[in-house]
Amino acid sequence: MNASVGETVTITSSAIGLFGRYLISAGKNHFVSDQRAAAGGPGEAITAGELLLSSLGSCSLGLIQKNAAEQGIGLRDAATAVSFQRHATDPTRYEWIRIAVTLSGVTASQAEVLVGGFTSTCPIYNTLKRGGPVEISWTVS
Protein backbone atom coordinates (compact mmCIF):
# COMPACT_ATOMS: atom_id res chain seq x y z
CA MET A 1 0.00 0.00 0.00
CA ASN A 2 1.69 3.21 -1.13
CA ALA A 3 0.93 6.53 0.51
CA SER A 4 1.48 9.89 -1.08
CA VAL A 5 2.47 12.89 1.00
CA GLY A 6 -0.49 13.86 3.15
CA GLU A 7 -2.40 10.68 2.31
CA THR A 8 -3.92 8.68 5.14
CA VAL A 9 -3.41 4.92 5.05
CA THR A 10 -5.42 2.63 7.30
CA ILE A 11 -5.12 -1.07 7.94
CA THR A 12 -7.54 -3.06 10.04
CA SER A 13 -6.81 -5.91 12.41
CA SER A 14 -9.31 -8.17 14.09
CA ALA A 15 -9.13 -10.95 16.65
CA ILE A 16 -10.37 -14.08 14.90
CA GLY A 17 -11.34 -16.50 17.66
CA LEU A 18 -7.99 -18.00 18.61
CA PHE A 19 -6.22 -16.13 21.40
CA GLY A 20 -3.29 -14.22 19.97
CA ARG A 21 -4.21 -14.66 16.29
CA TYR A 22 -5.29 -11.70 14.17
CA LEU A 23 -6.53 -11.03 10.66
CA ILE A 24 -4.76 -8.04 9.15
CA SER A 25 -6.32 -6.29 6.15
CA ALA A 26 -4.45 -3.71 4.11
CA GLY A 27 -6.52 -2.74 1.11
CA LYS A 28 -7.18 -5.95 -0.82
CA ASN A 29 -4.41 -7.81 1.02
CA HIS A 30 -5.28 -10.01 3.98
CA PHE A 31 -3.00 -12.09 6.16
CA VAL A 32 -2.71 -13.63 9.60
CA SER A 33 -0.46 -12.28 12.34
CA ASP A 34 0.22 -13.92 15.70
CA GLN A 35 1.23 -12.78 19.12
CA ARG A 36 4.65 -14.16 20.07
CA ALA A 37 4.62 -17.59 21.74
CA ALA A 38 6.66 -16.10 24.61
CA ALA A 39 3.73 -13.73 25.20
CA GLY A 40 1.13 -16.50 25.15
CA GLY A 41 0.16 -16.40 21.48
CA PRO A 42 0.44 -19.13 18.86
CA GLY A 43 3.68 -17.67 17.47
CA GLU A 44 3.23 -19.44 14.13
CA ALA A 45 2.42 -16.53 11.82
CA ILE A 46 4.40 -13.33 11.42
CA THR A 47 4.47 -11.28 14.62
CA ALA A 48 4.14 -7.53 15.17
CA GLY A 49 7.88 -7.10 15.66
CA GLU A 50 8.59 -9.06 12.49
CA LEU A 51 6.11 -6.87 10.61
CA LEU A 52 7.99 -3.81 11.84
CA LEU A 53 11.28 -5.27 10.61
CA SER A 54 9.78 -6.27 7.27
CA SER A 55 8.42 -2.76 6.74
CA LEU A 56 11.95 -1.37 7.18
CA GLY A 57 13.33 -3.94 4.75
CA SER A 58 10.66 -3.23 2.18
CA CYS A 59 10.97 0.56 2.48
CA SER A 60 14.76 0.41 2.23
CA LEU A 61 14.80 -1.75 -0.88
CA GLY A 62 12.02 0.20 -2.58
CA LEU A 63 13.73 3.54 -2.09
CA ILE A 64 17.19 2.21 -2.97
CA GLN A 65 15.90 0.74 -6.24
CA LYS A 66 13.91 3.90 -7.03
CA ASN A 67 16.89 6.16 -6.40
CA ALA A 68 19.24 3.91 -8.41
CA ALA A 69 16.88 4.00 -11.38
CA GLU A 70 16.38 7.77 -11.16
CA GLN A 71 20.12 8.43 -10.90
CA GLY A 72 21.17 5.91 -13.53
CA ILE A 73 23.16 3.84 -11.03
CA GLY A 74 23.62 0.26 -12.28
CA LEU A 75 22.37 -1.55 -9.20
CA ARG A 76 22.37 -5.29 -9.94
CA ASP A 77 21.00 -6.64 -6.70
CA ALA A 78 19.98 -5.46 -3.25
CA ALA A 79 19.15 -7.20 0.01
CA THR A 80 18.62 -6.22 3.64
CA ALA A 81 18.82 -7.99 6.97
CA VAL A 82 16.88 -6.10 9.64
CA SER A 83 17.00 -7.05 13.31
CA PHE A 84 16.19 -5.73 16.74
CA GLN A 85 16.97 -6.68 20.30
CA ARG A 86 14.37 -6.20 22.99
CA HIS A 87 15.46 -4.02 25.86
CA ALA A 88 16.64 -6.11 28.83
CA THR A 89 14.74 -4.19 31.51
CA ASP A 90 12.13 -2.12 29.64
CA PRO A 91 9.75 -4.33 27.65
CA THR A 92 8.25 -1.26 25.97
CA ARG A 93 11.46 -0.52 24.05
CA TYR A 94 14.01 -2.07 21.75
CA GLU A 95 17.65 -1.94 22.80
CA TRP A 96 18.58 -1.42 19.15
CA ILE A 97 17.38 -1.82 15.59
CA ARG A 98 19.91 -2.67 12.88
CA ILE A 99 19.58 -2.58 9.12
CA ALA A 100 22.33 -4.24 7.10
CA VAL A 101 22.10 -3.46 3.39
CA THR A 102 24.01 -5.45 0.76
CA LEU A 103 24.25 -3.94 -2.72
CA SER A 104 25.95 -5.28 -5.82
CA GLY A 105 26.90 -3.57 -9.03
CA VAL A 106 27.66 -0.25 -7.33
CA THR A 107 30.70 1.48 -5.89
CA ALA A 108 31.02 2.30 -2.20
CA SER A 109 30.23 5.97 -2.89
CA GLN A 110 27.15 5.03 -4.92
CA ALA A 111 26.03 2.74 -2.09
CA GLU A 112 26.40 5.62 0.34
CA VAL A 113 24.23 7.81 -1.90
CA LEU A 114 21.58 5.10 -2.27
CA VAL A 115 21.44 4.29 1.43
CA GLY A 116 21.37 8.01 2.21
CA GLY A 117 18.39 8.36 -0.11
CA PHE A 118 16.58 5.73 1.93
CA THR A 119 17.46 7.15 5.34
CA SER A 120 16.56 10.71 4.32
CA THR A 121 13.12 9.86 2.92
CA CYS A 122 11.68 6.74 4.58
CA PRO A 123 9.04 7.78 7.15
CA ILE A 124 9.21 4.40 8.90
CA TYR A 125 12.97 4.63 9.41
CA ASN A 126 12.86 8.26 10.51
CA THR A 127 9.98 7.74 12.94
CA LEU A 128 11.81 4.84 14.57
CA LYS A 129 15.13 6.69 14.62
CA ARG A 130 13.57 9.52 16.61
CA GLY A 131 12.51 7.00 19.26
CA GLY A 132 15.80 5.24 19.85
CA PRO A 133 18.98 3.86 18.39
CA VAL A 134 18.64 2.66 14.81
CA GLU A 135 21.87 1.64 13.08
CA ILE A 136 22.39 1.14 9.38
CA SER A 137 25.35 -0.33 7.51
CA TRP A 138 25.97 -1.43 3.98
CA THR A 139 28.30 -3.56 1.99
CA VAL A 140 29.02 -3.71 -1.70
CA SER A 141 29.79 -6.93 -3.53
* pLDDT at res. 132: 81
The tens digit of pLDDT for each residue in 34-77 reads 999 999 999 999 999 999 999 999 999 999 999 999 999 999 99
The tens digit of pLDDT for each residue in 88-100 reads 999 889 999 999 9
Q: What is the pTM of this model?
A: 0.86
* pLDDT at res. 2: 57
Q: Which has the higher per-residue pLDDT, 132 or 86? A: 86
Distance set, CA 70 to CA 9, 40, 129 (Å):
26, 46, 26
φ, ψ of residue 61 to 5 degrees: the values are -65, -40
